[in-house]
């Protein structure tokens, strides 16, 4: 079942990348905080629904989860804010594969510390997905260089290639990889319940969104523009839905963090496909080769899960 949840996560987080990019305005220095507001609002609503459902079912909620789950929460939210900032300066098809190389990092940490050794088919799948994600970053390097030249000429100010631009996805990768590893320990070892963890994470993000709202719309007196913020809200919906299924893909009951983490990192390939379709960024034969490699890896994982 973890395989299905991982696929759903890939679908929603790919959509989240697309809508967040569409909602990023390089001319708006508060654009990333506005995305945090939108995502925080959606997560707050969903967390409330989950909390009420838990209480009505008699399961209640343990507030200590906020403390127990805080390492993963801090790393995840920190990485996401950096990712949103980076989207203002760099192409989605460049940012996404760099960011999601974190899945390979988390997988290695899980293999070392959690001692979960996959079977042969799964190993092949992990290798193909990891090669595809890393390969995508190399393929996009040329595109990034071209974007830099256009930016210098003033022909394409939407994308900027520099150390500052690359800084954000790289540090996203580091923080997200550590967050995923922390998640695997806390969830896979049963230290934190999946539902409680999700509620704690979403309420914390809601708090961050509330702070961002006060800063942007009250202190800085920015005007709310509903039409412009629709992509941000759509990104928030996709991000929240993806987070919900992700928790169960790596949790202690049915999850498999060692395999699920590199598989879910492949959502960057879906992001690239969407960016080509909706943002009109061209897809080369090399891109198709990378996409095929990742999809082949996912198929191997699916077959291995079916035989398990």
Q: What are phi and psi of 174, to 5 degrees?
A: -65, -50
Over 60: is that where the pLDDT of 105 sits?
A: yes
Q: Tell me the pLDDT band of 276, cut-offs 50, 70 and 90.
A: confident
Over 90: is that where the pLDDT of 298 sits?
A: no
How many Å is the Cα radius of gyration of the chain? Answer: 19
Which of 53-62, 65-74, 299-308 comes out lowest in average pLDDT? 299-308
Over 80: is that where the pLDDT of 96 sits?
A: no
Which range marks the domain in which residue 262 is found? 2-307
Q: Tell me the pLDDT band of 2, cut-offs 50, 70 and 90.
A: confident
What sign results for the dihedral spanned by CA atoms 105, 8, 257, 127?
negative
Q: What is the pLDDT of residues 114-145, one digit of tens each?
A: 776 677 877 887 788 778 777 766 776 665 55
Residue 155 has what pLDDT?
Answer: 45
Q: Which residues contact 30 (CB under 8 A, 6 or more apart)?
A: 216, 220, 222
Q: Which residues contact 55 (CB under 8 A, 6 or more apart)?
A: 61
Q: Which is nearest to 163 in space by CA: 93, 92, 86?
A: 86
- Cβ-based neighbour number of residue 268 at 10 Å: 29
Work out the average pLDDT over 280-300: 75
Residue 116 has what pLDDT?
Answer: 65
pTM attached to this predicted model:
0.77
Q: Tell me the pLDDT band of 206, cut-offs 50, 70 and 90.
A: very high
Written as one string, the DSSP assignment of the chain is: -HHHHHHHHHHHHHHHHHHHHHT--TT-TTHHHHHHHHHHHHHHHHHHHHHHHHHHTT----TTHHHHTHHHHHHHHHHHHHHHHHTTTS-HHHHHHHHTTHHHHHHHHHHHHH-----HHHHHHHHHHHHHHHHHHHHHHHHHHHHHHHHHTTS-TT---SHHHHHHHHHHHHHHHHHHHHHHHHHHTTSS-HHHHHHHHHHHHHHHHHHHHIIIIIIS-PPP-HHHHHHHHHHHHHHHHHHHHHHHHHSTTT--HHHHHHHHTTHHHHHHHHHHHHS-----HHHHHHHHHHHHHHHHHHHHHHH-
Over 70: is that where the pLDDT of 257 sits?
A: no
Residue 260 has what pLDDT?
Answer: 74
What is the number of structural domains in the chain?
A: 1
Average of per-residue pLDDT values in the chain: 80
């Amino acid at each position: 079942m973890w395989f299905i949840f991982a696929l759903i996560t890939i679908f929603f987080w790919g959509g989240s990348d697309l809508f967040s990019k569409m909602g990023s305005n390089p001319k708006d220095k508060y654009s990333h905080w506005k995305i945090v507001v939108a995502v925080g609002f959606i997560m707050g609503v969903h967390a409330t629904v989950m909390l009420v459902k838990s209480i009505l079912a008699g399961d209640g909620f343990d507030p200590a989860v906020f403390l127990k789950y805080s390492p993963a929460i801090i790393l995840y939210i920190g990485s996401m804010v950096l990712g949103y900032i980076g989207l203002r300066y760099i192409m989605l098809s460049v940012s996404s594969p760099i960011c999601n190389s974190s899945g390979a990092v988390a997988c290695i940490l899980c293999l070392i510390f959690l001692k979960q050794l996959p079977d042969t088919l799964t190993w092949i799948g992990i290798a193909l997905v990891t090669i595809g994600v890393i390969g995508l970053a190399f393929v996009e390097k040329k595109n990034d260089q071209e974007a830099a030249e256009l930016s210098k000429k003033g022909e394409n100010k939407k994308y900027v290639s520099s150390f500052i631009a690359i800084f954000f996805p790289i540090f996203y990768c580091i923080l997200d990889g550590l967050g995923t590893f922390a998640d695997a320990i806390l969830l896979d070892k049963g230290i934190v319940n999946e539902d409680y963890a999700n509620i704690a994470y979403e309420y914390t993000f809601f708090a961050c969104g509330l702070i961002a709202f006060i800063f942007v719309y009250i202190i800085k007196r920015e005007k709310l523009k509903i039409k412009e913020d629709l992509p941000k809200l759509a990104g928030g919906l996709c991000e929240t839905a993806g987070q919900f299924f992700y928790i169960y893909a790596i949790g202690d009951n049915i999850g498999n963090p060692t395999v699920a983490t590199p598989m879910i990192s492949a959502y960057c390939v879906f992001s690239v496909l969407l960016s080509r379709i909706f943002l009109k960024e061209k897809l080369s034969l090399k891109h198709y080769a990378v996409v095929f490699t990742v999809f082949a890896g996912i198929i191997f994982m699916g077959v291995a899960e079916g035989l398990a």
